[in-house]
A and B are shown apart, each in its own frame.
Chain A
């Protein structure tokens, strides 16, 4: 068999031969992978990467049209597939071969577990009813330790290797502090003068912020308790959740149906109208997902501008209360249904809703699984 130099057949056969020699993939018919219109030069591996990753499908199964310009519409497809591919491949779930969406384990914790947060290894749960805090090992769901004395504990934040729990006590909220290095015992009380009924807590890198009834409290940790508390009331109604986006603290105002951006002293910088009774939001790196409890919807708010990009409905939402983000997906809990709703964070498309056995309260991610508290059942669910 003879080849004429420059002929398509010759080039194709040579490419196939080269691939065989290199131990490469079979069924490569073109000059560059499946493509007959891309030269086997320095650009070919780059074209192949975007093909193998599913970023491009080519213009036909055998052509890539390498010299054409890219329209903005085509670019949108390329870039969105690029983000999806990178985020999916880079996640710990991919490395662990865990691509499923399902509730897979139930751990019994204390009475009425509500707040939940991962420290990267263990999951910390504030049991509102029993006034305890459970430490659950994420790898196997084992209840490792239980701290006591956190009466009314409602929300958790892990920061600096420590665990802080806020309690919705009245007329003043209470802040508890746990040093995981100490043997389990009573949580330390570090502040008793937060605003009324503190429901949520966030950390900004130096101070803790709690969302309360008609106020927001800013807590500065000190070497010796009590920690310094500044409570700001101006402009606040029945506050729900609080979240830090890397630059600003945001809090939901349940009575005003708004999400407010706060300055360093707690002054309202911006007010975003969301749905009815917004609860505990989550930040995905770009946008804030605000579950609207009686609005039965999710408001997607761009953190950099405060613009409402979209309002999501359906997908099993039922008294949505709390959101969690795992790098790819957003999970929303349902207060009066045993379903949780799942969304693809990048394009806001629904991924379906899933039965987790009981009504859910709040949720967090550890980067692999979501962890969902179920106050009525006294359980923590790995999803």
Chain B
């Protein structure tokens, strides 16, 4: 017994008797003359309307033929693309555009000098500004600057987690610090939850229980911070195998860090030990995880290494598409954005098939650096103009 008969039984012979009607269809099932108007017809029509199939001809679908693996690849990739495109918030907001020029970027100024990395909490964007040592909160809907937190000396990375905002203090000499902000309170000074991190922590990430930082300056290290009932929080610094970690992401199972001077992406176990070493390009910076793969921007190699998280295999090394000293990567569910600080541009890629989607100017002197997505827009820290841009 085939799936078809099973389905027919399940549907009890229900057919396409609809409250409305669809006309202009010449075949027995939509445009198809070789598909019966039975319980399977709506499925065939759905994948036709979605553009997953075009039929074998304009009027035939060839329903009884088997699907070979090559055809299956086309069907599945179109299925994924269609589902993601429809399901994205941009589709619901009728925003199918890509900002074509710097003039149409929404710019928020006043985020402090030296904005480094940025992150979204779902409603607002948080910006860590290194030079001024401030953290700012910007409302995503209209770019309004909602508040500025001070005393965040050398703020570099920012992480929304546990309903709080955590900021790494990238002090060049001596141990780094981890600051905390309570967004429900009025803006004021940040509070340190730990002051004994490794030297110069940059990116930070959260694994559901602990906060991890990548600490850049000798001796390079990774700090694992365990939240506790009282301050300071417990810090474990791991140095073995590291020279200069800068980027850190969590893939749902493991933390990964990029090591700038070693040109490596390291997969870490729960104790911070290196359990996989991936040789990427020269000077890897701030990567992003797209749910399947890790995108590593190689600053000096002018490339992006795409690494499969489950295996550590490098799927491809992307070049071109305007990649020029790439610094940071962000993912919005469909697209990957890479900042190119030296050329005041960003490069876009379609995340599902790694194809280039163009290079876009962010304005002369903008110096795009950190980037994140809130699911609708990308947000980019402009070091050159001490501002935050909506892309």
Within 8 A of B (CB), among A278-297: 282-287
Q: In angstroms, how far is the closest chain A Cβ from the Cβ of B169?
A: 30
Asked if residues B43 and A161 are in contact (CB atoms below 8 Å), the reply is no
Q: Does B292 contact A (CB under 8 A)?
A: no
Asked if residues B142 and A313 are in contact (CB atoms below 8 Å), the reply is no
Within 8 A of A (CB), among B118-148: 123, 139-144
Find the A residue at minimum CB distance from B142.
Answer: A180
Given contacts A80-B43, A350-B19, contact A70 B64 (CB under 8 A): no
The one of B10, B64, B98, B141 in contact with A205, judged by C-beta atoms closer than 8 angstroms, is: B98
The one of B40, B46, B94 in contact with A325, judged by C-beta atoms closer than 8 angstroms, is: B94
The one of B22, B53, B87, B97 in contact with A87, judged by C-beta atoms closer than 8 angstroms, is: B87
Q: Does A199 contact B (CB under 8 A)?
A: no
| Complex Cα–Cα for A325 and B49 (A) | 15
Residue tally, chain B, CB below 8 Å to A: 74
Asked if residues A367 and B86 are in contact (CB atoms below 8 Å), the reply is no
Residues of B within 8 Å of A184, CB to CB, are none
Asked if residues A83 and B25 are in contact (CB atoms below 8 Å), the reply is no
Asked if residues B83 and A205 are in contact (CB atoms below 8 Å), the reply is no
Asked if residues B93 and A203 are in contact (CB atoms below 8 Å), the reply is no
| Complex Cα–Cα for A286 and B20 (A) | 21
Q: Does A314 contact B (CB under 8 A)?
A: yes
Q: Does B211 contact A (CB under 8 A)?
A: no
Q: Does A245 contact B (CB under 8 A)?
A: yes
The one of A80, A243, A287 in contact with B47, judged by C-beta atoms closer than 8 angstroms, is: A80
Given contacts A91-B87, A181-B144, A221-B103, contact A83 B98 (CB under 8 A): no
Asked if residues A327 and B21 are in contact (CB atoms below 8 Å), the reply is no
What does the 1/0 interface line of B271-288 toward A look like (CB < 8 Å)? 000000000000000000
Residues of B within 8 Å of A300, CB to CB, are 49
Find the B residue at minimum CB distance from A74.
Answer: B3
The one of A74, A181, A326 in contact with B143, judged by C-beta atoms closer than 8 angstroms, is: A181
Given contacts A59-B3, A83-B46, A180-B142, contact A75 B106 (CB under 8 A): no
Residue tally, chain A, CB below 8 Å to B: 86
| Complex Cα–Cα for A308 and B91 (A) | 21
| Complex Cα–Cα for A80 and B39 (A) | 13
Within 8 A of A (CB), among B80-111: 82-83, 85-89, 91-101, 103-106, 108
| Complex Cα–Cα for A58 and B30 (A) | 27
Find the B residue at minimum CB distance from A178.
Answer: B142
Find the A residue at minimum CB distance from B64.
Answer: A71
Q: Does B2 contact A (CB under 8 A)?
A: yes
Interface residues of B (CB under 8 A from A): 1-4, 6-7, 10, 18-25, 30, 35, 40, 42-53, 61-67, 72, 75-76, 79, 82-83, 85-89, 91-101, 103-106, 108, 123, 139-144, 374, 376, 390
A-B contact list, 17 entries, CB within 8 Å: A59-B2, A75-B75, A77-B43, A79-B43, A81-B43, A90-B83, A117-B93, A161-B106, A181-B144, A245-B96, A246-B96, A286-B51, A302-B51, A314-B21, A317-B20, A343-B20, A364-B94
